[in-house]
Structure 1
Amino acid sequence: METSISGDPATHGALDHGRRRRRALIVGGVFLVVALALAAFFMRGGDKLAAPVDTSPRVTVIVPGRQAVTARISAVGNIAARRDMPVGIPGEGGIVRQVLVDAGTWVKAGQTLAVVDRSVQTQQAAAISAQIDQARADAQLARQNLNRAKQLVANGFVSRADIDTRQAALDGANARVALAQAQLAQQRALIGRLDVRAPTSGLVLTRAVEAGQVVGPGSTSLFRVAQDGKMELQARLADSELARLHVGSPATVTPVGSALRIPGQIWQISPVIDPNTRQGTVRIALPYNAALRPGGFGSAEIGGAAGNLPLLPESAVLSDAQGNFVYIVGPGNVIARRDVKTGEVGERGVTIASGLSGTERVVASAGAFLNAGDKVHPELQAASR
């Protein structure tokens, strides 16, 4: 069956109007899409013609300035007496009769440490003393003979030659007295040298002698004395680290096996460098402390020279076969290499001992992906304090 719509002219007009409106909307939408597409196309093309795309990498830069820093150097070394004085036999030696001190004893300068047998030397001194008495008696007799001769010379009983002879006899007797006295003083000095005495006040470190032992000038040291009990730490450091230190630099020493932190200071820096190891010795003076035992081991933290130096993050400092360097952003935002000498490395970063003034724009990181001559887009980062 076919259905036909007949009808009313108003109904046909409404249908035509709807169809025209839909066509108008469709055509308008198409024109709008085309217009937007053309606008986008021309806008992209216009941008390309207006300016090229910037392909320079973005890098973070830092201007370090200069900050107050104090160098800290860690070292290890041997503990020793600052003045380790060996004590031996000053005289001819003999059998040791007494040992009066032991290791760990505090002594005064000149104090007797050990006594060597002196029986033979004492008898020799007694014999010389008797010779003095004999020489004095001879001198007294010669003086009396001379006086009597002088009384008789006026009467002609004694000649002038006899007077001269008696005067010479008196002079000879007096000389023998003086000689015997000198010999006795020498012998007593030798007896005194049989006492082993402390050369200085201090702490006895070792004792290597016992009663009954025979000692002589060729014997090894009988005692070792630390002058005034003062100690030191002897640390070996590289020549580059020695250059950062000076006499008087403070240090803190910790003996191995102890939690003590003993303050001290450098009192001597080696004037020579070992050509094989490129190291020298730093000697840190320390006060007496029972924990400081010569021959032991200790660690030290040494404070170097303080100053105002640039401080950079560790990521900013690179190294190669030529040494340490950083990249700086120069005029025109072009990368340039700058060789530097680093100082202390700490929690805050790396101090730059030389090579930077502190006003440069230094690449803070990603320097390994750059080369000198590259152009970059720098982004400033605040320096750490």
Structure 2
Amino acid sequence: MIKRGLIASGLTAIAIVGLAAAWQFGTAQAARPEGKAAAKIVAQPITVSSARHTRIVETVLATGTLVPRNEVLIGPEIEGLRIVQILAEEGDRIERGAVLVRLQRDALDAQLAQSDASLLKADAAIAQAKSQIAQIDANVGWTKVDLERAKSLLARGASTQAAVDQKNASAIGAQAQMRAAQDALNVAQADKANLQAQRRELQVRIARTEVRSPAAGIVSRRSAKLGAVASSAGDPLFRIIENGNVELEAEVPEARIGGLRVGQKAVVTTADGSSVDGKVRLAASEVDRNTRLGRVRISLASSENVKIGSFARGQIEIRQADALTIPASALLYDNGAPYVLTALDGVVHSKPIELGLIDAGRAEVRSGLEVGEDVVTRAGAFLRPGDAVVPVQQKAGAL
């Protein structure tokens, strides 16, 4: 009897404990909300930004090579002379007419001295011819007087016709001598003129032994070597960037070339990351049929520390507008169609938009939004329309 009582008491205690545990478990389950319901109730904090009007710039990217606007090729104007002096180096800024190279001129100087001696000889020949002319002129005058006297005596019967004929022949001979002397003078003067022309040619050749720059600019390359024989064949002695003007010769896709105009502003970024202001100087009117690219030339405002032949890219400004914009980070796409998420009364909504330009981290909205509407700028991909959110305005100054 005692054993049966103990067993009954034990079973009763176990039942009581089980009922208590079941009551506690049921109470806890009743107090715990379901997971999905809890997620709908808790609002997530999100970052939003208001749509606002800002200045937006449409640009075209052009890539290419830095080249001189005008390159001056300098070679010798006289052949066969050795280079005896080089007066310019690469990178030097030179003025128009500056002497770059001097050539050997000893032989030309000797020819010039010989020409001067020949001119002195020609002057002497001219003086001699003039003296002969003076003598013959006096003889011509005397023969004329003698002829007139003979004719007068013949008229009075004091002379003969033979004497008159003799005097007339002497006068004619004197006049022929005068013409011959005049011709000799003309020949001497022509010889002198020829010698003077030869001397001027020698002076020109001597002047060309100093190779001068026809324009001001910067020496970009020197091929001249001391002791070499100057020749117009092969590489020029120097290459000059005229006035130091450098341009970006670039290519633009045919779809964008139509928007380019002469005078448009541009920013050129060189290979080392430095930027230089520029301006469109030339926009080609044709597109290469093979590459479908059009050429454009952008002149640089400054050529300091710019190396021709190096790669560069230019951002050409083709349009500015005061447009409604939002941060580019707010953009989402559904099968290629842009849309944004807005936060209205603490609930997420989806809005399709018509997208315009994207510049400097902001996107132009042509339709679909109003000024002041808040759009989700961060973590929009993790939200769904209808989610409860707590909008947190993006800090001032941020995109």
**TM-score bracket for the superposition, by shorter chain length:** 0.5 to 0.7
Kept after mapping to 2: 8 A contact 1:246/1:305 = no
Kept after mapping to 2: 8 A contact 1:81/1:226 = yes
Structure-1 residue corresponding to 2:315: 301
Shift of residue 301, structure 1, vs aligned partner: 1.3
- Counting only pairs closer than 5 Å after superposition, residues 1-385 of structure 1 correspond to structure 2 as 70-156=57-143, 159-258=174-273, 260-306=274-320, 344-346=357-359, 347-349=361-363
Shift of residue 287, structure 1, vs aligned partner: 3.2
Kept after mapping to 1: 8 A contact 2:356/2:363 = no
Kept after mapping to 1: 8 A contact 2:61/2:252 = no
Kept after mapping to 2: 8 A contact 1:93/1:194 = no
2:101 aligned partner, one-letter code:
A
2:223 aligned partner, one-letter code:
A
1:138 aligned partner, one-letter code:
A
Question: Can you list the C-alpha shifts for 1:31-63, whole angstroms capped at 9, x where unaligned?
Answer: xxxxxxxxxxxxxxxxxxxxxxxxxxxxxxxxx
Distance, in Å, in 1 between the alignment partners of 2:229 and 2:86 is 13
Distance, in Å, in 2 between the alignment partners of 1:149 and 1:343 is 103
Kept after mapping to 2: 8 A contact 1:88/1:222 = yes
> Which of 181-190 and 72-81 deviates more?
72-81
Determine which structure has the larger helix proportion and give its number. Answer: 2
Distance, in Å, in 1 between the alignment partners of 2:222 and 2:211 is 12
Distance, in Å, in 1 between the alignment partners of 2:332 and 2:278 is 35
Shift of residue 306, structure 1, vs aligned partner: 4.2
Q: Which runs of 4+ in 1 moved over 4 A?
A: 66-69, 306-319
Distance, in Å, in 2 between the alignment partners of 1:269 and 1:144 is 74
Question: Can you list the C-alpha shifts for 1:188-229, whole angstroms capped at 9, x where unaligned?
Answer: 101211221112011111111121112212131111111111
Shift of residue 253, structure 1, vs aligned partner: 1.3
Kept after mapping to 1: 8 A contact 2:276/2:302 = no
Unaligned 5+ segments in structure 2 are 1-52, 144-169, 339-353, 369-399
Distance, in Å, in 1 between the alignment partners of 2:232 and 2:308 is 26
Kept after mapping to 2: 8 A contact 1:245/1:305 = no
Unaligned 5+ segments in structure 1 are 1-65, 326-339, 353-357, 360-385
Distance, in Å, in 2 between the alignment partners of 1:293 and 1:315 is 42
Distance, in Å, in 1 between the alignment partners of 2:279 and 2:234 is 36
2:79 aligned partner, one-letter code:
E
Shift of residue 275, structure 1, vs aligned partner: 0.6
Cα 1:163/1:309, change in 2 over 3 Å:
farther
Kept after mapping to 2: 8 A contact 1:98/1:211 = yes
Kept after mapping to 2: 8 A contact 1:85/1:225 = yes
Distance, in Å, in 1 between the alignment partners of 2:115 and 2:333 is 87
User: What's the secondary structure of 2:65's corresponding residue?
Assistant: strand
TM-score w.r.t. the length of structure 1 is 0.63
Cα 1:305/1:131, change in 2 over 3 Å:
farther
Cα 1:310/1:173, change in 2 over 3 Å:
farther
Structure-2 residue corresponding to 1:365: none
Paired residue total: 274
RMSD (CA atoms): 3.3
Distance, in Å, in 2 between the alignment partners of 1:279 and 1:165 is 78
Distance, in Å, in 2 between the alignment partners of 1:343 and 1:129 is 81
TM-score w.r.t. the length of structure 2 is 0.61
Cα 1:148/1:265, change in 2 over 3 Å:
same
